[in-house]
Amino acid sequence: MNGPARVRDHLLSNHSETLDATIDCADAVAQSRSGPATGREEVVSPLKAILDHAGVLETYPALLASAVDALGESLSAAPVAAPPYVTITGTGPVLRASLPSGRIVIRLAVFALERDPKRYVRTGNSPEEILVVERR
């Protein structure tokens, strides 16, 4: 099993509670709107606030460290729930770390950008659907 697949399996097995909580927070953002979000900040600001209020944001550094451990590597510094380790984007949280072997990027894709017309839509209803792991 390659690195990203191993990390993905590890996170699904060991961090499903965090992934489910991320989905719940994204649902709350989507339900709070009367119409579709057409700008990035219409998703980013409320999602970050809800993740923080629910205590989910503070769990992301441990999730990232666990992913690095699953690769058999180590971080040069302890990750924090802020850039460059954790960023909230228009499509959801992105966790990343630079390692001796390259970068690991974990995306929790709870929103998608549709282009015509431009709008952010809620996507992914399970941890398996939102979790994307990449090596760069």
pLDDT tens-digit map of 56-82: 999 999 999 999 999 999 998 999 999
Q: Is the pLDDT of residue 27 over 90?
A: yes
In the numeric block, the tokens 């999730």 are attached to 63
Supply the mean pLDDT for the chain: 95
* DSSP-derived 3-state class of residue 38: coil
pTM (predicted TM-score): 0.94
- With a CB cutoff of 8 Å and minimum separation 6, the contacts of 43 are 29, 37, 90, 91, 111, 120
